[in-house]
Amino acid sequence: MTALFIALAVVIVAIRLWRHRYVRQTIGAPDDRPDVARRAARRRGDVELIARREVHERVATRVFKIGTLIVLLGVAAAVVIPVLRRSGTEVAPVLRVGIVGRSTLLARQTLVAVGKSRDVPVLLRDVDSLDSAKAALRAGRIDLALVDDRYLEVAQRFSASDSSTLATYTESAAHYLGVEAALRSEGIPESHVGAITLTFSGAKGLRIGGLKPAHHTSANLITALYVLILTYVLLTQYGTWVLMGVVEEKANRVVEVLLSAVSPLRLLVGKVLGIGLVALAQAAAIVAVALALGAAVGSNLVKGTAPEPVIVGLVWLVLGYAFYCWLFAAIGSLVERQEQVQSVAFPVQLPLLFGYIISFTALGASSPSALSIVLAYLPPTAPFVMPVLFALGQVAWWQVVASGLITAAATIGMARLAAVIYRRAILRTGSSVKLKEVLRRKARPLSV
């Protein structure tokens, strides 16, 4: 993950250096710099003013306030209700440990003592052979097997971040049994081993074997699921906001007044930036409420949430919005009436839905399919697929960076295309504007 941040820092520095060089070439002589600086400040001021207007219009509405409150209450209910339902009714599970071959009395006592230290009852059962123990593990008749005091066997290997009762118990038992075995190998009498085991930590624990390979880490799996749902909901919601905002301004002729003061490109950038800030703020509020309540009530819903997939998911949420917002704005400028919104929005929502479904399917797969790997590099579906593959450990950090750079480059192209479509179609009223007609018109330089 450190390498990922280093790569992103290098990209940011390269962009800033390129921008600095471009500004120097554009400004030219030193005498011209004050005028250029004033024009640049005016452009930034126009965009900032429009962005503030969009933020105020969205946040000040009763629909936004009530909708946000409902969403936060839903998140709070999803975190708190499971805790309330299990409180007072949850019973500590009984771990059934099979004993195979020769086993010392001290090892048996250690297995029981580790369970008591974790408030977990432990039931020991003698098993005739290793094959019988494996059959019992597969059938679920025992949870764990100690073989000749040499290693432990479970039905399925534990992932690195598995925090289940069986996983934590098995790891602790393996540690203490390993310490005891190391002390006995040094010739320490068994009567003294138990007294000094708790203070001896230099020995290696017993090996833990598994009949099946480990699943994906539960924390990463849960985190990927949350990030996937959040990305789909927010991209759909705020993309529709951009679309509806453009259509409303065009239908009630407000855009004509705005364009008399600012250029189409600045108007479009301010609108996209303002709605994007609202989206980011709402996403941050949802994550903060979920994590705060989960930590306060001890909910398993957010327990063990992996930080790296969360960070990557939020970055891809921003990249996904940056890509789709221009597309929604462009098709909104082609619409004449609000009744036509659903028909023009459907083609844009198809890749959103497709990427969501493929990503949801990848959550349960043991290895990524060729289709999901390809979609992880395509800008329309990468915001969904790539965070899931990263959370499941199926892609390396450099692949995430490569996909992000591809999406960023595609976003720049999409922004330029959307600006052309918006400028040519936003003032055309009376009938719906066809995309072919807009693209066939002779291109003119974009005014900023």
Q: What is the mean pLDDT of residues 78-89?
A: 62
pLDDT value at position 27? 44
The residue among 447, 243, 401, 444 whose CA lies nearest residue 334 is 243
Q: Which amino acid is at 396?
A: A
pLDDT value at position 377? 93
pLDDT value at position 217? 54
**Statement: the pTM of the whole predicted model exceeds 0.85:** no
Q: What is the mean pLDDT of residues 51-70?
A: 82
Higher model confidence: residue 133 or residue 26? 133
- Pairwise CA distance, residues 86 & 91, whole Å: 9
156: which residues sit within 8 A by CB, 6+ positions away?
A: 210, 211, 212, 213, 214, 215
The residue among 94, 75, 30, 79 whose CA lies nearest residue 300 is 79
Q: In CATH, which of 3.10.20, 2.40.30, 3.40.190, 3.40.1000 is domain 95-212?
A: 3.40.190
pLDDT value at position 375? 92
Q: What is the mean pLDDT of residues 309-333?
A: 86
243 pLDDT above the threshold of 70? yes
The model's confidence at residue 257, banded by pLDDT at 50, 70 and 90, is: confident
Q: What is the mean pLDDT of residues 356-374?
A: 84
Max Cα separation, the chain? 96
At 285, list the tokens. 């509020």
pLDDT value at position 378? 93
Of 4-18, 80-94, 318-332, 415-429, which gets the smallest average pLDDT?
4-18
CA dist 39 → 33, 43, 44, 403, 415 (Å): 10, 6, 9, 35, 22
412 pLDDT above the threshold of 70? yes
337 pLDDT above the threshold of 90? no
Q: What is the mean pLDDT of residues 249-262?
A: 74
Are 286 and 204 in contact by the 8 Å Cβ rule? The answer is no
Name 95's bridge partners.
Answer: 122
The model's confidence at residue 445, banded by pLDDT at 50, 70 and 90, is: very low
Higher model confidence: residue 42 or residue 242? 242
Locate the domains of the chain by residue range: 43-82+218-440, 95-212
42: left (phi over 0), alpha (psi -120 to 50) or beta: alpha
Mean pLDDT, rounded, of the chain: 75
pLDDT value at position 44? 64
91 pLDDT above the threshold of 90? no
DSSP reduced 3-state for 25:
helix
- Pairwise CA distance, residues 271 & 412, whole Å: 16
pLDDT tens for 183-242 read 666 666 555 555 444 445 455 567 777 666 655 555 667 778 888 888 898 888 888 888
Of 133-142, 270-279, 331-340, 368-377, which gets the smallest average pLDDT?
331-340
pLDDT value at position 402? 93
pLDDT tens for 277-305 read 887 888 788 878 877 887 777 665 555 55
Of 2-6, 18-22, 357-361, 382-386, which gets the smallest average pLDDT?
2-6
pLDDT value at position 354? 93
88 pLDDT above the threshold of 50? no
DSSP reduced 3-state for 274:
helix
The model's confidence at residue 2, banded by pLDDT at 50, 70 and 90, is: very low
pLDDT value at position 8? 44
26 pLDDT above the threshold of 60? no
CA dist 66 → 82, 111, 150, 270, 320 (Å): 24, 54, 61, 25, 26
Q: What is the mean pLDDT of residues 81-91?
A: 56
Q: Which long-range contacts (CB under 8 A, 24 or more apart) does 200-204 make?
A: 203/178, 203/179, 204/178
As a whole-number percent, the residues of the chain with pLDDT over 90 amount to 8
pLDDT value at position 281? 84
Q: What is the mean pLDDT of residues 79-100?
A: 69
pLDDT value at position 408? 92
The model's confidence at residue 403, banded by pLDDT at 50, 70 and 90, is: very high
Q: What is the mean pLDDT of residues 231-256?
A: 81
pLDDT value at position 404? 92
As a whole-number percent, the residues of the chain with pLDDT over 70 amount to 71
